[in-house]
Amino acid sequence: MTVTHDNLPLLLLKARESSVACIRAVLSDASLTEQQWRVIRTLALAGELNAQDLANQSCILSPSLSRILARLEADKIIIRKVDATDQRALNLKLSAKGKRLHDRLAPRVDKQYQMLVKEAGKDTIVKLASLLEKFNTSTTPAAENG
């Protein structure tokens, strides 16, 4: 197969869709979107982050993240607090309710991903992850290439 500038983005989007589709039912049962789950999962792993780091680590653009954070805060899943050293900065962390939600869903999400690995084959997933890591570290966003 020839990879061109036309089909590479589509192939990457299809791969993303395939990898996320397996957890949609779990998230839907909890009334969460994929992006909300990424925020919850990222905060569960990191503990506490400022909004910019959270946006970078969860791969969510700032305008979208603002809406997601407002919803998660209204649902008492996250807590926002002013940074002790920089009063302009906000730090975010999971509330006790958010931690319980993460702890309840994480095993179900992990189980779905294990089924995906079994279906696709562990070697395929390991190779794909390695190639994507290499691709992501070796490419520069087009805007930077000016």
55-69, pLDDT tens digit by residue? 999 999 988 999 999
45: pLDDT strictly greater than 50: yes
Q: Quick check: is 145 in a domain?
A: no
Q: Quick check: is 75 in a domain?
A: yes
Predicted TM-score (pTM) of this structure: 0.83
Q: Quick check: is 50 in a domain?
A: yes
Domain membership of residue 135 as a residue range? 7-140
Instruction: Please name every residue paired with 92 in a beta bridge, in sequence order, or none if there are none.
Output: 49, 80
Predicted confidence at residue 141, as pLDDT, reads: 62
Between the CA atoms of 130, 131, 132 and 135, what dihedral angle is there, to the nearest 10 degrees? 130
10: pLDDT strictly greater than 50: yes
143: pLDDT strictly greater than 50: no
Kindly give, in sequence order, each residue whose CB lies less than 8 Å from that of residue 56, ignoring residues fewer than 6 positions away.
none
